[in-house]
Amino acid sequence: MKHTNLNDERRWQAVLDRDPQADGQFVFAVLTTGIFCRPSCRARHALRQNVRFYADAAAARDAGFRPCKRCQPENADPQQQRIAKVARACRLLEQDTTIRLEALAREVGVSPYHFHRLFKSVTGMTPKAWQQAWRTKRLRAALEKGEPVTQAVLAAGFPASSSYYREADNTLGMTARQYRRGGSDVTVRYALAACDLGRCLVAESARGICAVLLGDDDASLIIELQTIFPQAQREEGDAGFYARLETVLATINGQNTALQLPLDIRGTAFQQQVWHALQEIPAGETRSYQQVAQSIGNPRAVRAVASACAANTLAIVIPCHRVVRQSGALSGYRWGEGRKAQLLRRETQQEEA
Ligand SMILES: [Zn+2]
């Protein structure tokens, strides 16, 4: 519902509906109590004849009304307050990667139980996953600078206990020692095959599928793989891998097989957040870069969202092809705009069928 130039009848309906979309569009005041509220206020409704509408809180105050204590119509709207709390929590997690989540919830003024749900609804990640991603990012940076492994692990916020070394191992996709040596002990197996969109390269590490690349010829696909994992050992997949490849190809060829293979999603915390959000876009639908930025609670990060889409190495599995310009124009695609158009056409047809 749009609330620009609403007449009073529509405004009253929004009040009756307690429509949160109407918050910020106007306030309403009650003559008998002398109080004004935001449209979504949970308080009992007054009689229509005693209600007056004002453009904003300042206008209601000028007319002699006091703000409601319950809905606090002079503060930012509740959704913005929630997003601000999560944004604050994210900053705190980045500064202090050892902070306990109970303490963090208290810090931003939310109960620990609600905090977990709120954080996930805004970022698409649990607070623990976010914290983990930041620890890993710090650990990577420290190891790349050549710091000793033990020191780097502790400095990144992993507590001094062997279980956390294993945690570091899990999130780096390799042990800290291997990572410091530039991933040189890591093996990436790959296989090439034909799919509906041309040639396809699928690669896996010990952690799962780590790349799904599309192209016209095998040589350029292998070069792309080298660019993504410059230090890793590359070898052709064995028979078992070719069997798993069938599952990936079925997904690419749109046979609606949900991919159950473990995925090895590498990337920064922000990229992971974007990639999680992309996986929430249903087949047959598209979103703009702006919408994706909003869905992760970071409406200004439009260009960063576009970069995260471009950095995706798991074609189709993480459906970056479902993100288009606000105008509806396709915009770029790592594997060619023609393939993007073809994918979207196919998904629309499947959803209509
Ligand atoms: Zn109120």
Domain at 289, CATH number:
1.10.10.10
Task: Answer yes or no: is 212 within a domain.
Answer: yes
Domain boundary among 185, 200, 227: 185
**Both ends of the chain: CA-CA distance in Å?**
30
| 192 and 181 inside one domain | no
Task: Answer yes or no: is 258 within a domain.
Answer: no
> Which of the residues are catalytic?
37, 320
Please report, for the domain that includes residue 203, its CATH number. 3.30.160.70
| 54 and 153 inside one domain | no
Task: Answer yes or no: is 261 within a domain.
Answer: no
How far apart are alpha carbons 92 and 99 in whole angstroms? 8
Q: Which residues fall within 8 angstroms of residue 114, CB to CB, at 6 or more apart?
A: 105
Strand-pairing partners, residue 51, are 30
Give the pLDDT score at 161.
Answer: 42
Task: Answer yes or no: is 147 within a domain.
Answer: yes
| 209 and 115 inside one domain | no
Domain boundary among 185, 209, 230: 185
Residue 273 half-sphere exposure, CB side, CA atoms within 13 Å?
A: 31
Strand-pairing partners, residue 30, are 35, 51
Give the chain's radius of gyration (CA, Å).
Answer: 25
Q: Which of 141, 139, 24, 136 is nearest to 73 (CA)?
A: 24
Give the pLDDT score at 157.
Answer: 61
Give the pLDDT score at 47.
Answer: 94
Q: How far is the centre of ligand 1, averaged over its atoms, from the C-alpha of 125 (Å)? A: 32
Pairing outcome for strands 198-205 and 208-215: antiparallel
H/E segment holding residue 190 = strand 187-195
Q: How far is the centre of ligand 1, averaged over its atoms, from the C-alpha of 83 (Å)? A: 21
Task: Give the residue ranges of the annotated binding site for DNA.
Answer: 33, 42, 44, 66
Q: Which of 214, 203, 213, 218 is nearest to 261 (CA)?
A: 203
Give the pLDDT score at 48.
Answer: 94
Strands (E), 38-174: 51-54, 66-67
Task: Answer yes or no: is 298 within a domain.
Answer: yes
| 103 and 14 inside one domain | no
Q: How far is the centre of ligand 1, averaged over its atoms, from the C-alpha of 295 (Å)? A: 28
| 84 and 179 inside one domain | yes
| 122 and 156 inside one domain | yes
Q: How far is the centre of ligand 1, averaged over its atoms, from the C-alpha of 35 (Å)? A: 8
| 281 and 332 inside one domain | yes
Range of the domain at 341: 269-352
Residues measured by CB to lie within 5 Å of ligand 1, the ion: 37, 41, 43, 68, 70-71
pLDDT in tens, the chain (353 residues): 334 446 888 899 999 998 877 887 889 999 999 999 999 898 899 999 999 999 889 999 999 999 998 888 887 666 667 777 777 788 788 777 778 888 889 888 888 888 888 887 766 677 887 777 777 777 776 666 666 666 666 666 655 544 444 555 555 555 555 555 555 567 888 988 888 788 888 888 776 677 888 888 888 888 888 877 777 888 888 777 777 777 777 777 766 445 555 666 666 667 878 888 888 888 888 999 999 999 888 888 888 888 888 888 888 878 899 999 888 788 888 888 888 998 888 888 876 66
Which token pair is 170? 């899990």
DSSP string, 231-277: TSEEEE--HHHHHHHHHHHHHHTT------SPB---S-HHHHHHHHH
Give the pLDDT score at 162.
Answer: 46
Helix (H, G, I), strand (E, B) or coil at 89: helix
Q: Looking at the 3D structure of the chain, how many domains does it have?
A: 4
Domain boundary among 136, 165, 185: 185
319 residue type, one letter: P
| 333 and 316 inside one domain | yes
Please report, for the domain that includes residue 170, its CATH number. 1.10.10.60
| 171 and 135 inside one domain | yes
Task: Answer yes or no: is 3 within a domain.
Answer: no
